[in-house]
Amino acid sequence: MKIITFPNKILKEKTEEVKEINKEVKELVKIMKQIMQENNGVGLAANQIGKNLAIFVAEDKNKIHTFINPKIVKFIGKEEIVEEGCLSLPKIWGYLKRYPEVIIEYQNLFGKKKKMRAKGLLAQIIQHEIDHLNGELFIDKAIEVFKIE
Ligand SMILES: [Zn+2]
């Protein structure tokens, strides 16, 4: 499986709730983790590999977390300008505003409801990936976008 890149319209579609965490979903998550690592990414949403489901994976401190049906329930602090890139937008970077800390509710691979408070880079990744699941890309809200060679 390959990473879908801009301007493929799959990236602009809102993803659907995962109703049952079955074998296919578990296999999909495994593939997502592999693809993310092979491409040196720190986050990947299911629609970036063409699956229209509300799932993303994120790496933090050498651990990969799986978020199923995630929802940010609280944004904490004042928005800050950060730099961001995306595996679906090769060679494009930009500046945009993100909250320094968020609280996210989600299900894990076993279907268990979880809540996590994340800050710093992980909070940024979470906000980026939630945008993907809503069909939004960081360039849609960037203050400035630039190309690197
Ligand atoms: Zn992205």
Show me where the domains of the chain are located: 9-147
Ligand 1 center from residue 137 Cα (angstroms): 7
Ligand 1 center from residue 129 Cα (angstroms): 6
pTM of this prediction? Answer: 0.97
Give 44-103 pLDDT, tens digit per residue: 999 999 999 999 999 999 999 999 999 999 999 999 999 999 999 999 999 999 999 999
Task: Kindly compute the dihedral angle of the four CA atoms of residues 44, 48, 50, 55, in this order, to the nearest 10 degrees.
Answer: 40
Question: For the residues 129-138, what does the mean pLDDT come to?
Answer: 98
Q: Please give the Cα distance from 2 to 42 (Å, whole number).
A: 16
| Identified catalytic residue from 38, 129, 136, 144 | 129
| Residue from 126, 107, 106, 105 nearest 60 by CA | 126
Using a pLDDT cut of 70, give the percent of the chain over it: 100
> What is the assigned CATH class of domain 9-147?
alpha beta
| Residue from 23, 20, 49 nearest 36 by CA | 49
- Name the average pLDDT for the chain: 97
Ligand 1 center from residue 128 Cα (angstroms): 6
Ligand 1 center from residue 45 Cα (angstroms): 7
Cβ 26 vs Cβ 46: under 8 Å: no
149 among known catalytic residues: no
Question: For the residues 33-40, what does the mean pLDDT come to?
Answer: 96
pLDDT surpasses 90 at 1: no
